[in-house]
Structure 1
Amino acid sequence: MTTKPEGAEKRSLVRPVEHRADGNGKMTVSGYAAVFGEVADIGGWFKEVVARGAFTNTLRTADVRAYFDHDTGRVLGRLSSGTLRCEEDDKGLRVEIDLPDTTDGRDVKTLVERGDVSGMSFRFEAVRQEWDETVDPPKRTLLEVRLGEVSIVSEPAYDGTSVALRSREEARNEARRQHNAAAFARRKAEAEAKFRKIS
């Protein structure tokens, strides 16, 4: 059964998933789980862009797994075992998975060969982000993410919108706090200046 940590979001990309087989029948699938600079419409609530370098830090430390349809019971590969490879290139987050000789691995192999599987996806938590509230709908730029997993997906879809909307509200509240603190400091400085002139 699929489990998702609190605060995690999923994003999917409908792009061709490539495949190749070696002489021993091993099948490797590859594609992009994210493309830098591409604007995604997140349910009409906001636009989102993944910035170049957003995965740099997480790829140094994360032991990411690859799943089928985000189902943690259907493991296809893992970074630490070398059966999953994730790297940032000029285009985005490139993923390669050496499919296992399991029921799920063989199923995915067949689905990819037939063209039934149409995308890849990744689960993440935002570490650093920027919100542009001057446009409608607002635009979110993911500057750094913590990568939780990558998946080959049969029906690419976006998830985690409510988490992102909470994040946007937190950014708004922080901007209000900073504005109020600056206004308070300005009023205090004006009052002190006025007091010194009187005394």
Structure 2
Amino acid sequence: MERRALESAVVSKGRTLYGYAARFNEPTDLGGFSEIIRPGAFKRSLASADAQKVRAIYEHDSRSLLGRLGAGTLRLYEDAKGLAFEVDLPDTQLGRDLPVLVERGDVAGCSFGFIAQGEQWEGETRHLTDVDLFEITITATPAYDSTTVQVRGKQPQSVKLARLYLEACR
């Protein structure tokens, strides 16, 4: 499984974090090659039965569980910008500490763990077109500079629209 970390503002409001675990069409240098995530790369994986197993964790540590799609404590939406997420934090020490770290700016990025199912190479640039998603991670050391995480305040319009669309498709 490959992991990619992204930097940007993670937002927190109370006990919910939201942001982008991946951003589309924004190249990142991974040392030796660059990588670009294309729109639709997560679509198949999120629609599969295995999507219920996707977890939100802290610093790629499976012992630091924050939420899971199947439990309804993690929500993932692919929109025009990327892979948006919301995670309701548990009432654990980590769940209480993490929003503080996010609000201070100590933890400001995201990552994701995946296996590439579709990719295209253009010279030294890999374009991810289809991935099996296993996890998103809240992290202080992202590989992609454009990811975000924030403590829930006002829900971003793009997340609202994505949620309405997904509910209408059910």
Structure 2-normalised TM-score?
0.80
Could you say which residue in structure 2 is the equivalent of 1:50? 37
Instruction: Judging by fraction of residues, say which structure has more strand.
Output: 2
Deviation at 1:19, TM superposition (A): 1.3
2:140 and 2:110 map into 1 onto residues whose CA distance is 9
Query: Deviation string for 1:116-137 (max 9, x for gaps)?
Result: 111011001100101113xxxx
Could you say which residue in structure 1 is the equivalent of 2:24? 36
Structure 2: gaps of 5 or more residues: 145-170
Match of 2:109 among 91, 94, 119: 119
Match of 2:74 among 84, 90, 94: 84
- 1:69 matches 2:59: yes
Could you say which residue in structure 2 is the equivalent of 1:170? none
- 1:148 matches 2:134: yes
- 1:95 matches 2:85: yes
Letter in 1 for 2:22: A
The size of the alignment, in residue pairs, is 141
Between structure 1 and structure 2, the one with the greater Rg is 1
Letter in 2 for 1:149: E
Structure 1-normalised TM-score?
0.68
1:80 and 1:49 map into 2 onto residues whose CA distance is 28
Cα RMSD, aligned residues only = 1.1
Q: Between the two proteins, what is the percent identity of the paired residues?
A: 49
Deviation at 1:113, TM superposition (A): 2.0
What's the secondary structure of 1:80's corresponding residue?
helix
Contact 2:28 2:143 in 1 (8 A): no
Deviation at 1:156, TM superposition (A): 2.0
Deviation at 1:109, TM superposition (A): 1.7
Match of 1:16 among 9, 25, 46: 9
Match of 1:129 among 109, 113, 119: 119
What's the secondary structure of 2:29's corresponding residue?
strand
2:86 and 2:111 map into 1 onto residues whose CA distance is 13
Query: Deviation string for 1:153-174 (max 9, x for gaps)?
Result: 122248xxxxxxxxxxxxxxxx
Letter in 2 for 1:39: P
Instruction: Judging by fraction of residues, say which structure has more helix.
Output: 1
Contact 2:106 2:140 in 1 (8 A): yes
What's the secondary structure of 1:100's corresponding residue?
coil
Shift >6 Å, 4+ stretches: none
